[in-house]
Structure 1
Amino acid sequence: MSTIAEQIENLKSASVEQTQASQQLAQEVAGKMGDIDQKVNQSIQQVEQTYDEKASGLTIIATDGYKKAVESASGGKNTVVYDAQGNPNVMVVVPRFNVEDLGLTELDLGSGTHPAFQTNGAPRSEILVGKFLASNASGGTAVVGGVQPRVSVNFDTAKNFCTQKGDNWHLMSIHEWAAIALWSLANGTVPRGNTNHGRSHVNYWETAPRADGGIPGDSDGTGRTDTGKGPAAWGHDHTDFGIQDLVGNVWEWIDQMKLQDGRIITTLDNNPSVAEANWTPHQAYYDSTSETGGNPILNSTVTNRMGDLGDDANSGNSNFIDFRSMSQDPSYTPIQLLRRLLLETATDQTVGGRLYTRNYGERLPLRGGDWGSGSSAGLGALRLGISRSLSHSSIGFRPAFFV
């Protein structure tokens, strides 16, 4: 028979063994639970990866399907380009042409490829121009129909919105605008547009939905219309697949041209990579018949300056004339490139629209007119009276793309 001391020692030994067994069991359970957690996490990661892959695949299928649908419906005249932000941009394909093939001999355009289809002297077979004005989109802008255009941006902001879309994107250039305008003139499809508060000032029955829901023709409110919602005659080729809203609706910022103290400065061809400081100044000035605002006249110098050199103010003396009626000083030597860019004209048998100028300070171009411009709007409308910093609800922009 064991003593009480021996029994106590036996109990202590049994307790230690039980504790050790419990700890070993706990470790085994923890290990198995860890294995289970790891397998669960791996399963979750695999499911998430599979979902992401399928979602990405579905996105590719969806975007590719949209592009194919647009191309099929338009017979290849339109396509869709997705930008760096993933936003869709419906673009019109503009094929290269020679200026002599337009048959506009009275405009004295010379011969050869229009500069819109040349970059640093190298030809391009086509360019892509936004079918619609740029509109708001996630992280930037898109080019889609049936929405309000992006407005109230200054020149540099508009240009940045275009370049941030990615490589080969740029703000529509003076070369591209002129090429489209000349093509429309040659084909008898000079577009009309929203030039009278939601309707055409020529054909009142041509209307589109207004931003404020107002009545077409009512001068109260905001007469700006949704992108591409007008009739086919508002497209550059008078079809639903043409470039929409070039005339009226909102003025459009244009790149690769400016007026510096009355002097015309441009790039030599369609090259958005050329820094502004390296654009070419021409021996061509928008002079005035009066220091207080007579008609603009092309001259080899400025004889009537309407303000102080370097003054960029958006107020003060200005002048205007219908582009078709602009005259030239006898001493002025015509410049073929400027005729091709619709900055001068050899005849009044050209596109219409009003030319506005201030021959002092730096002036960046707007083209086309807005919803209240009436007969002052047109493919020849050119506003050279404002600084690059101006923004307004009647000013928008249009992206273009090199293939």
Structure 2
Amino acid sequence: MANFDLSSLALQSVCPNNVIKVDDTDLPSVLVYIPAFKNSDVLTGGNDSTHPAFIVNGVQIPGFYYSKYQNVVHTTKLTDGDVAAAYSLPGEDPAHDINFDTSRARCEAKGAGWHMSTNAEWAAIALWCKKNGFMPYGNNNYGKDTRESNYKAIPLHRYTENNVTRTGRVATGTGPLTWSHDKTLSGIWDLNGNVWEWQSGIRFVWGELQILANNDAADPDNPQNTTSTCWKAINAADGSLVDPECRVSDSAAKLSGNTIKLDYVSGVWTYTTTVTSSADQSRSCPFWKVTCTAAIGAAAKVLLRSLAILPDEGTTEASYEGDYYWLNNGVAERCVLRGGSWNDGAGAGVFAFDGNDSRAIVGWDVGFRSAYIPEIG
């Protein structure tokens, strides 16, 4: 049974924008509601289209509920068997050592409408934070933020490195207000650091960017296995979704074509259609430096920016506060993690992006977060 106090959870509901949702296991999660907005509300030069996070299966939704805390997994004994599911609860050691597919399963076990965070949802929150000047801090420096010396969270994980005892993961939601996405008690916690978080609806195949349309990844009926036909590439010229040019079953990358791919040019990740540097290794650059070639049209750029995988127009070094972009474009499939971990320093943050890992990877610094859309199911 989960180790929590319902009375303390009830207090969370008095915070503006916080909601307690009980799932099919009759256990609660604390959520924050994110109302729908347009690309133009959060992007410089953004169009008036609804942000992708608020369109599921072609239908606009009024908003989505997002876990206030990085999730933990608890097993509940039900009459028809044990159910291991994900929960958003304060003061917990976040789930870790869990792969992409298992993370999704733990979220979907909660019932209809529940799903693992999609990259579209993460992007909506990240873009809102930047637009409103609330770039959240977090546990990216062994229990504290690199920009803070006195504020710390409750440590739940310690280890020894080079004869030095380090703090790793901290208890969910126990950092200062600067760790909240809107700098209030009602905000979303730990989007910067603590553990990396799996994101659904996005992957790279031999360096080709592939996504599910809009926020279709929130619906479990749209499969995300390696061979799913829901995966689409992006036409570089007009931003439309098309059949991929690269497939997991291919023995090597297709280095040129019409779809958006990632090339590493002079130490910078570059969206393009022709790859000149493909390597099975992790390579990186600051997020604010990620760029495009002339092959990427205006509509495609807006889509990339709406997914928080390309910096906004007029970006400067200070715009993203050191967040980093890591990727491996030389292997068949790589899934996506966001946010950073306790030891990524300034490279962690709401725009931090990691496309290095297979869906099977597990790590003590890799977790996830669930979300809920009542219109699904």
TM-score above 0.5: yes
Q: What residue is the counterpart of 1:397 in the other structure? A: 368
Distance of 1:331 and 1:220 partners within structure 2: 49
Matched, 1:375 2:358: no
Tell me the TM-score normalized by structure 1: 0.75
Q: What residue is the counterpart of 2:263 in the other structure? A: 287
Equivalent AA in structure 2 for residue 205 of structure 1: N
Kindly, what percent of the aligned residue pairs are identical? 31
Aligned residues of 2:114 and 2:370 also touching (Cα < 8 A):
yes
Equivalent AA in structure 1 for residue 357 of structure 2: I
Distance of 1:79 and 1:382 partners within structure 2: 28
Question: How many pairs align?
Answer: 322
Match of 1:319 among 259, 276, 283: 283
Distance of 1:154 and 1:343 partners within structure 2: 22
Aligned residues of 1:181 and 1:351 also touching (Cα < 8 A):
no
Aligned residues of 1:97 and 1:114 also touching (Cα < 8 A):
yes
- Shift of residue 369 of structure 1? 0.4
Bigger Cα Rg = 1
Aligned residues of 1:324 and 1:347 also touching (Cα < 8 A):
no
Per-residue CA distance 1:316-337 (angstroms, 9 max, x = gap): x221001111122233335121
Q: What residue is the counterpart of 1:202 in the other structure? A: 147
Equivalent AA in structure 1 for residue 307 of structure 2: L
Matches within 5 A, 1:2-401: 69-71=11-13, 73-75=14-16, 77-102=17-42, 104-105=43-44, 108-139=45-76, 140=84, 141-212=86-157, 220-272=165-217, 273=219, 274-276=222-224, 277=228, 278-282=230-234, 283-289=259-265, 294-307=267-280, 317-334=281-298, 335=300, 336-345=302-311, 346-349=313-316, 350-352=319-321, 353-360=323-330, 361-401=332-372
| Larger mean Cα displacement after TM superposition, 359-368 or 109-118 | 109-118
Paired residue secondary structure (2:200):
coil
- Shift of residue 222 of structure 1? 4.3
Distance of 1:143 and 1:268 partners within structure 2: 26
Aligned residues of 1:296 and 1:320 also touching (Cα < 8 A):
yes
Distance of 1:220 and 1:387 partners within structure 2: 30
Equivalent AA in structure 1 for residue 341 of structure 2: D
Structure of higher RCO (CA pairs closer than 8 Å, 6+ residues apart): 2
Structure 2: any 5+ residue segments left out of the alignment?
A: 77-83, 235-258
Q: What residue is the counterpart of 1:54 in the other structure? A: none
| Alignment root-mean-square deviation, CA | 2.1
Aligned residues of 2:269 and 2:285 also touching (Cα < 8 A):
yes
Equivalent AA in structure 2 for residue 327 of structure 1: T
Paired residue secondary structure (1:268):
coil
Paired residue secondary structure (1:254):
strand
Q: Which has the higher strand share?
A: 2
- Shift of residue 221 of structure 1? 3.5
Distance of 2:164 and 2:129 partners within structure 1: 29
4+ runs of 1 displaced by more than 4 Å?
A: 65-69
Q: What residue is the counterpart of 1:31 in the other structure? A: none
Tell me the TM-score normalized by structure 2: 0.80
- Shift of residue 237 of structure 1? 0.5
Per-residue CA distance 1:21-68 (angstroms, 9 max, x = gap): xxxxxxxxxxxxxxxxxxxxxxxxxxxxxxxxxxxxxxxxx97x8776
Distance of 2:195 and 2:158 partners within structure 1: 17
Paired residue secondary structure (1:364):
strand
* CA 145–286 in structure 1, closer or farther in 2 if over 3 Å, else same: same
Structure 1: any 5+ residue segments left out of the alignment?
A: 1-61, 308-316
Distance of 1:210 and 1:174 partners within structure 2: 28
Aligned residues of 2:282 and 2:327 also touching (Cα < 8 A):
yes
